[in-house]
Amino acid sequence: MSRTGTSPDRGESGARAHFHALEALYASAPINNLFASRLEIVGEGRSQITFQVDESLHHAAGAAHGTIYFKMLDDAAFYAANSLVSDRFLLTTGFNLHFTKPIRTGQVIAHGRWVSGKRRVFVAEASLVDDEGDEIGRGTGTFMRSHIALSGLPGYRVRG
């Protein structure tokens, strides 16, 4: 595990505990009560969000609204970056996204991957893949350390 302002020799069990706590944090966010989704931190700097698109998420032309693309891309990239930081909550400071294919219904997986940065600003990217294996969207975000301690957030629960 790389040094990011936390204990320098944190072992895999410490990293795994941090990953599980981030997954609990995601699940506890009130906004996620609106979406059938589940986060998994798959490794250092990598995340995956599986979610379901149905008609309740459509715009007037019958496909998923762009807010769904943004939310899942931002969340996947954010959690990939925050997997590298165990003391502070990161904040999104910018995000660029590209829509490549509309989706009407079905399962979508957002794959997040840390790209660069380990001190104050982090860059991460994410892609959305539909249940046919096609990429439907892609985005890149910048994330900055905040003054918000992860340990102070009610949803962040480290298992002993």
Region for residue 5 given its phi and psi (left: phi exceeds 0; alpha: psi -120 to 50; beta: otherwise)? left
Domain locations along the chain: 12-152
Q: What is the CATH number of domain 12-152?
A: 3.10.129.10
DSSP per-residue codes, 37-71: EEEEEEETTEEEEEEEE-GGGB-TTSSB-HHHHHH
CA distance 7 to 155: 22
Sign of the Cα torsion 120, 75, 19, 32 reads positive
For residue 105, the tally of other CB atoms under 10 A from its CB is 16
Going residue by residue through the chain (160 aa), what tens digit of pLDDT does each one get? 333 433 333 444 799 999 999 999 999 999 999 999 999 999 999 999 999 999 999 999 999 999 999 999 999 999 999 999 999 999 999 999 999 999 999 999 999 999 999 999 999 999 999 999 999 999 999 999 999 999 999 999 887 6
